Amino acid sequence: MTFWIAIVSIGSSIFFTGLLRRYALQRNVLDIPNSRSSHSVPTPRGGGLAIVVGFLISLGLMRSFDLIDNAFFLASFLAGLTVAALGFLDDHGHIPARWRLLGHFLAAVWALYWIGGLPSVTIFGLQVNLGWVGAALAVLYAVWMLNLYNFMDGIDGLASAEAICACSSAALIYWLLGYEELLWPPIFLALATAGFFYWNFPKARIFMGDAGSGFLGITLAIISLKAVSFSSTLLWVWLILLGVFIVDATFTLLRRLVRGEKVYEAHRSHAYQYASRTFNAHIPVTLCVILINLVWLAPIAWLVAFDRVDGAVGMLIAYVPLVTLALKFKAGVKEVSC
């Protein structure tokens, strides 16, 4: 049965992305390049809705065949749908940032309620029960994840590749650990994303849009937080696997906050954006991110998952070269207009 769910997941995503591209072209729903864009050709947008459709169908099938429990289904389905709907409306018009943020927090609180909050976590070998503080931090983490995913969706294939790599690596770790209850959501999310990736790389024929990027961010947050109920070590595993996006987005945000800029306004000061301009192409940047994920981050995550390295120590080790790259490619440095 899982084979057929996999076919439905990737097949529906490929099909609906093509359908959405035709719709966007007919309705003139295009991303028009401007001074803050990383592309130069008007391109259809909103294709990430296909990821939403593909994964939500898979989620329903997983629940029908008892591959996931009811709490995870309710957390993922309604939180993801809410974030995707807000993104869709913003893609087709404009929703003030404060109302989008309110919706994001409500979706995160809903998800955390069904997941059961944040259990105790191990920090440098010390078991810590954070209680309500932990729950609040988990909500902030989920909201940050969905927004950073929106920030990092700026060049061809990048956001899709990050999700596919992180989910595939996590699924392999779950399988090796014997956590079959956690195995299927990241696999089917990777497949639904791969269906969109076909249309988005090596050259984007359609962009993801806020609906897809926000949905990916909140869903990855929910999947990673659910894993903590099985082992607190798995939170560190996910923080490592998503390190490229976490470091670039957080580093950029902090630098812009220090300068007093409006962080919700569009810009081109992420490290990956500077890198794409340095190489004058998107492909090498996305391929480098894939390589970093598979060759550097996945092995460290494996060592942490199997208790060869402490989780917090492993994350620090994993992040050192990522911070170095962020500095090298001027993450958060204000772009100088020529």
pLDDT digits 0-9 by tens, 13-64: 999 999 999 999 998 888 877 656 666 688 898 999 999 999 999 999 999 9
Max intra-chain CA distance, the chain: 58
Closest CA to 54 of 170, 148, 137, 160: 160
pLDDT at 37: 61
- 42: DSSP letter: -
Is 302 within 8 Å of 173 (Cβ atoms)?
yes
Domain regions of the chain by residue span: 2-328
Sign of CA dihedral 254, 258, 263, 265: negative
DSSP track, 201-249: SSS-SS--HHHHHHHHHHHHHHHHHHHHTT-THHHHHHHHHTHHHHHHH
Closest CA to 97 of 262, 318, 284: 262
Q: Does residue 281 register a pLDDT over 90?
A: yes
Q: How does pLDDT run across 95-153, given as a tens digit for each residue?
A: 888 899 999 999 999 999 999 888 888 888 888 888 888 899 999 999 999 999 999 99
What's the predicted TM-score (pTM) here? 0.95
Q: Does residue 91 register a pLDDT over 60?
A: yes
The one-letter code for the residue type at 287 is L
Closest CA to 90 of 27, 45, 123: 45
Is 181 within 8 Å of 230 (Cβ atoms)?
yes
Neighbouring CB atoms inside 10 A of 282's CB total 22
Three-state DSSP state, 148: helix
pLDDT at 155: 94
pLDDT at 164: 98
